[in-house]
Amino acid sequence: MTEDLYLTLTDVAEVLGCDISAVTTLITTGHLDAIQRRGWRVSHAALARFISRSQRDAFELGLSMAPADDFALLRPAKDDGVNGG
pLDDT tens track for 41-78: 999 999 999 999 988 888 878 766 555 554 454 444 44
* 73-76: long-range pairs with CB below 8 Å, 24+: 73/14, 73/15, 74/7, 74/11, 74/15, 74/44
Q: The pTM is what?
A: 0.68
The chain-wide mean pLDDT, for the chain, equals 79
Structure confidence at residue 75 (pLDDT): 46
d(CA 23, CA 82): 31
Domains and CATH numbers, the chain: 2-63 (1.10.1660)
d(CA 65, CA 53): 12
CA dihedral 20, 23, 29, 34 (to 10 degrees): -110
Structure confidence at residue 5 (pLDDT): 87
